[in-house]
Amino acid sequence: MKQLEEAVRSGVFLLQCQADDMPSVLRQTIGFLIERGLLEADQREAVIGALLARESEMSTAIGHAVAVPHAYLDGLIQPQVIFVQLAHPLNLGAPDGVPTRFLFVLLGPTGSAAEHLDALTNIARLMSDDGFRYEARQVRTQQELLSALEQFRARTAVSAMIPEAAVSEGLRYTGRLFGGVRADIRRRLPHYAADFRAGLNPKCMAATLFLFFACLAPTVTFGGVMAQMTGNQIGVVEMITAASFCGVVFALLGGQPLVILGGTGPLLIFTAILYQLCDTQGIPFLPTYAWIGLWTALLLLILAATDASCLMRFFTRFTDEIFAALIAFIFIYESVKALVNIFRGLDVRRHHDTALLSLILALGTFYIAINLLRFRRSRYLFSGMREFLADFGPTIAIAAMTLVAVFLREVDISVLPIPDHFQTSSGRPWRVDLLAVPMRIRLAAIIPAVLAVVLIFLNQNIVARLVNNADNKLVKGEAYHLDLGAVGLLIGVCSLFGLPWQVAATVRSLNHLRSLATTEEVVAPHGETRERIIHVLENRISPLAIHLLIGGSLLLLSYLKLIPMAVLYGLFLFMGVVSLVGNQFFERMTLWLTDSNLYPAMHYIRRVPRGAIHKFTLLQFVCLVVLWIVKGSRLGILFPLFIALLVPIRLLAGRYFAAEHLEILDAAEEPAEEETEWA
């Protein structure tokens, strides 16, 4: 490593090398060394010949997007290492199938085997670091390359000195009032300015446009459904207003801005049951709703002040996978259900042309979005265009299918149910009259508020755990307590104006994270490929812009009304399917239909007996089914309690599974050996 650093400091490196094959790269590198006076001109052909001869024996591309061409000749005096960054990656036959982006050209006298092995070891350590590989892609100057090397050394030094903690820093109990909140602020505040600077990146614009539509769709849908379930007392306008206001405030003041707040299915169920209860008892709904919201806000602030989020340390991958799968299946189910209802609701005015066009629009949106997402791994076009098409895929799909609907406007289809003017859905005043209910109702409101607190506490923290998962490579720290307190305050404000409560939304938050992620394709020894995150652009600009656009949509009602609901159902389907990718629970479910002789060589398959794997997966599946049934039953208001019960279920599983098997199946992070092995 010292030799490489010295070479970089003395200017012995090539950035943005334009080459179409390995001979071209090597000739440019040797020519560069001769220009620098580090190699004699009469040695050019001998060195290039030796490098090409070694390359003809076997490719020196060793994986992780790096190749190590090397040559050792008697005429060379001292060992040298030259770092080369290619302008365009080349397919050099690496064992992991990943195109080569970087080369370390090693030259030296014969008999330098020890130095060669030492250099290879250092290169392997350097290039196995996700952070350095990401930074090495971006560097354009000597100082940036030196900075990347320095940051790598700092990371490895810290990891060597500090043993890995069993509990993440954000979930450690402080024992002091507001101790967790203060720790969150200390952890995130140094990154606050950088969060805005990082947002000045084209990737953020792509994420903003994608998530604008991806967040607007459920916002409008949940608002429309809530209007039906609450007698139009809370509807689309209120949902858009709440989503925009809470999203903007959270993007500015929240600890983890990658979390997207919004309406969720469990909160929708809770609100609907509350309205039915008020309606049967003859109690004014909105004032009661407001008092429950105020009690909920107070209790959430108490939980934030007392480090209650530390309880999330007992929630493991077992719970996260079930919760994520549940939300993904809800999106898939709701999109399919909406399309089926279109076929069922046909009449004289809305005939089969309506149903057929709606189906085409939904499937077309899904097909375009999912294939453009896969285009990132395509061999066509250049890398920048592939990234653009993948990032903007959902936006392109929505625009394309909306144009199809506009050209076929003679067919009557449903479009976004946006009102013509900005006002409350029922025409009521914006501010809720808190004195419209007697004192006994105001005090009794604390009972349903306790259930609401359990729901919001679990929903917010589980989504935060999914976002902060170690596999996502976030580096700026967690903020569970601060975020819970911020959500509590926002719920209190929303309650005063009869706005729907907003909490962390699973699918939207994970899609936000993935849209800001830089990934690389990993090819396992058994040949299967998967994407792995190496860096996420943590910023506040994209969530801020997303929610400002959602608020601004109230000023563009005539244009938004052109978007067919069927297109948004296709986007729902896309979000649900994409959210299942990488969910180990879902992957293990597919083993039930896979020939056991063809199981992938995953770490848990190699280390855990097949029977134990299937039993663990079956346990998760049963829990998922129970949650699904409860969600759709009259006991839906108790849905959060059943999520909380997953913790003791996981603890009880220790009686029926070997501890070492549970540790592997419920690991918080993929083991390092699951990555592509070096040749």
Mark which of 161, 193, 214 sits at the end of a domain. 161
Two tokens at 470? 């170690």
CATH number of 146's domain: 3.40.930.10
Residue 173 within any structural domain of the chain:
no
Q: Is 508:215 a contact under the CB 8 Å cutoff?
A: yes
Do 89 and 209 lie in one domain? The reply is no
The better pLDDT of the pair 419, 336 is held by: 336
Q: pLDDT, tens digit, for every residue of 79-120?
A: 778 888 888 888 877 777 778 888 888 887 876 666 677 777
Determine the Cα–Cα distance for residues 447 and 445; give it in Å rounded to an integer.
5
CA distance 44 to 478: 53
- Calpha distance 364→15 (Å, rounded): 42
| Backbone torsion region of residue 473, taken as left when φ is above 0, otherwise alpha when ψ lies between -120 and 50, otherwise beta | left
Q: What pLDDT is attached to residue 678? A: 27
User: Do 136 and 207 reside in the same domain of the chain?
Assistant: no
Read off the DSSP letter of residue 285: H
**Are 339 and 210 members of one domain?**
yes
Separation between Cα atoms, residue 655 and residue 475, nearest integer Å: 36
Rounded distance between C-alpha atoms, residue 236 and residue 335, angstroms = 18
E strand or H helix at 558: helix 557-560
Establish if 168 belongs to a structural domain. no
Q: Give percent above pLDDT 90 in the chain.
A: 13
Task: Provide DSSP, 45-65.
Answer: HHHHHHHHHHHHHS--EEETT
Q: Are residues 132 and 183 in the same domain?
A: no
The answer on 192 and 300 residing in a single domain is yes
As a whole number of angstroms, the distance between CA 68 and CA 126 comes to: 13
Type and span of the H or E element at 247: helix 236-253
Establish if 167 belongs to a structural domain.
no
The reply to whether 211 and 78 lie within a common domain is no
Exposure class string for 472-488: b at 16+ Cβ within 10 A, else e? bbbebbbbbbbbbbbbb
- CA 611 to chain centroid, in Å, comes to 32
Model-level pTM? 0.73
| Residue 111 within any structural domain of the chain | yes
Per-residue pLDDT, averaged over 253-280, amounts to 85
- Residue 390 banded pLDDT, cuts 50, 70, 90: confident
Is there a single domain that holds both residue 140 and residue 198? no
DSSP state of 199: T
pLDDT at position 133: 80
Question: What average pLDDT is seen over the chain?
Answer: 81
- Do residues 521 and 577 both lie within one domain? yes
Rounded CA gap, 292 and 407, in Å? 48
Give yes or no for a contact between 295 and 302, defined as CB atoms under 8 angstroms apart: no
Last residue of a domain, one of 109, 127, 161: 161
**Is there a contact between 548 and 404 (Cβ–Cβ < 8 Å)?**
no
Domain, as residue range, for 141: 2-161
The token duo for 636 is 């839906």
Alpha helices in 171-201 (DSSP H): 179-188, 192-198
The answer to whether residue 590 is domain-embedded is yes
Report the first-to-last Cα separation within the chain, whole angstroms: 20
Report residue 76's pLDDT band, with 50, 70 and 90 as the boundaries.
confident
189 shares a domain with 114: no
d(CA 115, CA 678): 19
Q: What's the rounded mean pLDDT across residues 657-675?
A: 65
pLDDT above 70: residue 172: yes
Please determine, for residue 516, whether its predicted confidence score (pLDDT) is greater than 70.
yes
Compute the distance between CA of residue 257 and CA of residue 466 in angstroms, rounded to an integer. Answer: 14
Same structural domain for residues 63 and 20? yes
Q: What are 292-306's pLDDT values in tens digits?
A: 999 999 999 999 999
> Which pLDDT band holds residue 492 (cuts at 50, 70, 90)?
very high
Q: Which domain-ending residue is among 110, 131, 161?
A: 161
Partners of 533 in the β-ladder: 519
Considering the domain architecture, whether residues 134 and 183 belong to the same structural domain is answered as: no
- Of 403, 498, 386, 458, whose CA–CA distance to 645 is shortest? 458
What letter represents residue 32's amino acid? F
In a domain, 669, yes or no: yes
CB neighbour burial string for 206-218, b if at least 16 within 10 angstroms, e if fewer: bbbbbbbbbbbbb
pLDDT digits (tens, 9 = 90+) for 522-541: 655 555 566 677 788 889 99
Same structural domain, 224 and 302: yes
In a domain? residue 171: no
Which pLDDT band, with edges at 50, 70 and 90, does 242 fall under?
Answer: very high
Q: 3-state class of 259 per DSSP?
A: coil
- The answer to whether 498 and 434 are in contact (CB under 8 A) is no
Instruction: Specify the number of domains making up the chain.
Output: 2
Candidate from 65-69, 613-617, 673-677 with smallest mean pLDDT: 673-677
Looking at residue 373, what is its pLDDT?
Answer: 79
Name 366's Cβ contacts closer than 8 Å, sequence gap at least 6. 397, 570, 571, 573, 574, 577
Say if 174 falls within a structural domain: no
Angstrom distance (rounded) from CA 426 to CA 457? 30
List CB contacts of 102: < 8 A, sequence separation 6 or more.
65, 66, 67, 83, 84, 85, 86, 127, 136
| pLDDT given at position 297 | 94
